[in-house]
Amino acid sequence: MMNNPGWPATLVHDRVSLRPYQRSDATEWSAVRVRNEGWLAHWEPVSGVAWQESNSPSAFRLLLRDLRKSAKTGITWPFAICFDGKIVGGMTVGNIVRRAFCSAHVGYWIDEGVAGRGIMPTALALVCDHAFTTGQLHRIEVNIQPHNTPSRRVVEKLGFREEAQFKSYLYINGEWRDHVGYAMTVEDVTDGGVLARYLKRRTQAA
């Protein structure tokens, strides 16, 4: 899109891929989300309705409409995360600001059944590399609740810097929650890309 460089896009490495959501994803997306209520609900904003209702196929179609509208105006890249072609999570590059700032925030979630298998670091690395090249962004931020250890491990594996402590930052699961701010800029990527660096470190640690 002219006013949204880098979107739409499909990003792939091995068995992990990211692509724009489609209307036909409604049933599959809903099944994954409903199955993972216990894993996801305490990390996400409260919608005011029951989890099953807010993650139903009809709720997905409303969400998709809003995401597509945001993407069209250039402020969002909404990706489905797939493993072997099946939806296992989501990643949204949001709050995209151009001109002098050229920055965005990234949020993500993943199916508990595939967590810890390197899917999320791979997905985030793919998005960062895309953002810093085709997407023409300079800075990526990820804000995480302090006790969300798995999510913090993801960004730390990729070389994000811990930069800030945000008090009462987001209203999550009925409370205003503190968050830790992580960031990476294009100048931090000097060795072939975020994904290449992650894969190299993973191989060395094996």
Q: Write out pLDDT tens, residues 139-156.
A: 999 999 999 999 999 999
What is the predicted pLDDT for the residue at 3?
72
Average pLDDT over residues 86-94: 98
Average pLDDT, the chain: 94
Average pLDDT over residues 180-190: 96
Give 104's Cβ-side CA count (13 Å radius).
Answer: 27
Residue 191 class from Cβ within 10 Å (0-12 exposed, 13-18 middle, 19+ buried)?
exposed
What residues does each domain of the chain span?
11-205
Which CATH number applies to 11-205?
Answer: 3.40.630.30
pLDDT digits (tens, 9 = 90+) for 41-60: 888 887 678 999 999 999 99
Average pLDDT over residues 170-193: 91
Question: pLDDT over 70 for what percent of the chain?
Answer: 98
